Structure 1
Amino acid sequence: MSLETGTPGLAPAAQAAPSATLARLRPLVPPTLAILGFFVLWEVACRLFRIPAFILPTPSASIASLVQFAPAVAGHALQTLTTTLIGFVLSVVLGVALGALVGLNRTAYQALYPLLIGFNAVPKAALVPVLVIWFGVGAVPAALTAFLISFFPVVVNVATGLATVEPEPRELLRALGASPWEVVSKVSLPRALPYFFASLKVAVTLAFVGSIISELAASNQGIGVMMNQAASSFQVPLVFGGVLLVSAMGVLLYAVFALVEARLTGWAYRGQG
């Protein structure tokens, strides 16, 4: 009798794990189908309209070119990924520091925000020759370009997140005797986390743009260099292969930050379903 009564009790627990796994994987279905549909449409259109490969290669041809030159592509990809991450980390560290200053201090906000707007209006591609003059051809200009182009979104989002916190929780903590740091750590920082992660997802993709811009202009290694060399020899599938490779790296890093964001700031999106 004990076995008979215990067996049905195991069924819900046994079914909970698969259902929980499916619930976690369900958000991945729409973007996966959209990406697959995009590549299928691209492939079919190129074959149906017989578009020459030197004008628009198929995705399969682009990926095949990456496989064909895999050793060289791996070195270029590692260089681009390294410079991108260095520039991105610099933008996060300095952007969070400056964003906190601007967001928590009204005087700093009024003084520095116009400078930030003016800085962001400068085309970063125009600064690449200057960086090359200062630091020479190589990884340093690429990392700095990645930093410059991804810095502004971090500053603005962090400052906005800290400056738009509701006054009621802060006033309540002050009335209870909380110190300024306790008010910031218990109210302002948690409320600013969604803005911070939004800035990370934008900044990491922009950092790739900065690295590629610098590599296309003046560098000796990286995906931008590979694309330049491929274009000069009319290897258009390899050019598009480089585009797909950069896109894949950007999507993967975006997904990492989106996963961390869901873990830490799920409370901010409870209304979505």
Structure 2
Amino acid sequence: MTTSKINWIKLAPWLYTAGLFIVWELIVRAFAIPQFILPAPTRILEAIIQFWPAIWKNSLQTLYTTTVGFILAVVFGLGLGIAIGWSRFIYAGLYPLMIGFNAIPKVAVVPILVIWFGIGTIPAVLTAFLIAFFPIVVNVATGLATIEPEMEDVLRALGAKKMDIMLKVGIPRSMPYFFGSLKIAITLAFVGSVIAETVAANSGLGHMMLAAQSQFNVPLVWAGLIMLAVEGIAMYAVMAWIEMRMTGWAHRSQLAQA
């Protein structure tokens, strides 16, 4: 791949984003769309500047609750995923329960968390944890459970025990699945935090947007959405960087083809 092509690829996200906002601005102005329906990007930028102290404070709160919930999801998701992938008995017993729990809308769980822990940070952290937990477990368990039977037979014939197979083959093999799931889980964690903040919180972007909505301050609502998008993209980029650093060997063939 030539250097100029690589540079254009790096610039592509910025060009597409700028193009999106330009088209958005032109459409709003051309069709004279009212601000309470769809504010123009320039009006959203004005709201960001005007309410920046509140936006910054609430953005940090949302980032904090999301990060803590995500870390909990990584720790418990990795542990449970290894346990499920290790034993078919655990897999058969827990997997249906996990699917059933994951099917429950997490917004319906928030009131229960409020009863248990009150209004504040803890329900937001736990909601982020609950919604980010499932994809990590599934991906880790899938990576462990899909070891080729032929490879297991060969390793057993060479004297390897189940623990040896798991440590030397299973866990390294599941790492691309695990780090790939982190990119999904971190975006879902933001969803969980905002859901809880709109229902039972005194701060955070979700709380701020709900208050702005009650005041018909639509540009501030969109400013909150933009900040959520920025935080989500930033955290996704961090997870993608960690994935490439830790499992670059799994992507070598793709890079070579590119």
Deviation at 1:205, TM superposition (A): 0.5
Which residue is 1:4 aligned to?
A: none
1:153-185 residue CA offsets vs partner (Å, 9 max, x unmatched): 111111111111223444433333344333223
Deviation at 1:269, TM superposition (A): 2.6
CA contact (8 A) 1:161 1:192 kept: yes
CA contact (8 A) 1:170 1:187 kept: no
- Normalised to the residue count of structure 2, the TM-score between the two structures is 0.92
Which residue is 2:80 aligned to?
A: 98
Say if 1:21 and 1:84 are closer, same or farther in 2 by CA, change over 3 A: farther
Following superposition of structure 1 onto structure 2, how do residues 175-186 of structure 1 map, counting pairs within 5 Å?
A: 175-186=157-168
Matching of residue 248 in structure 1 with residue 248 in structure 2: no
Say if 1:271 and 1:30 are closer, same or farther in 2 by CA, change over 3 A: farther
- AA at the equivalent of 1:192: S
Q: Distance in 1 between matches of 2:62 and 2:220?
A: 16
- AA at the equivalent of 2:173: R
Which residue is 2:63 aligned to?
A: 81
Say if 1:98 and 1:39 are closer, same or farther in 2 by CA, change over 3 A: same
- AA at the equivalent of 1:61: R
Q: Distance in 2 between matches of 1:133 and 1:22?
A: 57
- AA at the equivalent of 1:162: L
Say if 1:166 and 1:30 are closer, same or farther in 2 by CA, change over 3 A: farther
Matching of residue 132 in structure 1 with residue 114 in structure 2: yes
Q: Structure 2 unaligned runs (5+)? A: none
Matching of residue 64 in structure 1 with residue 46 in structure 2: yes
Which residue is 1:157 aligned to?
A: 139
1:130-155 residue CA offsets vs partner (Å, 9 max, x unmatched): 11111111001111111111111111
Percent identity over paired residues: 53
Deviation at 1:90, TM superposition (A): 0.8
Which residue is 1:35 aligned to?
A: 17
Deviation at 1:62, TM superposition (A): 1.3
- Aligned residue for 2:253, secondary structure, equals coil
Which residue is 2:156 aligned to?
A: 174
Q: Distance in 2 between matches of 1:93 and 1:76?
A: 26
Matching of residue 226 in structure 1 with residue 211 in structure 2: no
Matching of residue 265 in structure 1 with residue 242 in structure 2: no
Deviation at 1:23, TM superposition (A): 7.9
Deviation at 1:270, TM superposition (A): 3.0
Q: Distance in 2 between matches of 1:96 and 1:224?
A: 28
Q: Which moved more, 1:65-74 or 1:182-191?
A: 182-191
Matching of residue 198 in structure 1 with residue 183 in structure 2: no
- Aligned residue for 2:57, secondary structure, equals helix
- Normalised to the residue count of structure 1, the TM-score between the two structures is 0.87
Among candidates 123, 143, 156, match of residue 105 of structure 2:
123
CA RMSD in angstroms, aligned pairs only: 2.0
Q: Distance in 1 between matches of 2:75 and 2:214?
A: 38
- Aligned residue for 1:219, secondary structure, equals coil
* Aligned structure 1 segments of 4 or more residues deviating by more than 4 angstroms: 19-27
- AA at the equivalent of 1:249: E
Q: Structure 1 unaligned runs (5+)? A: 1-18
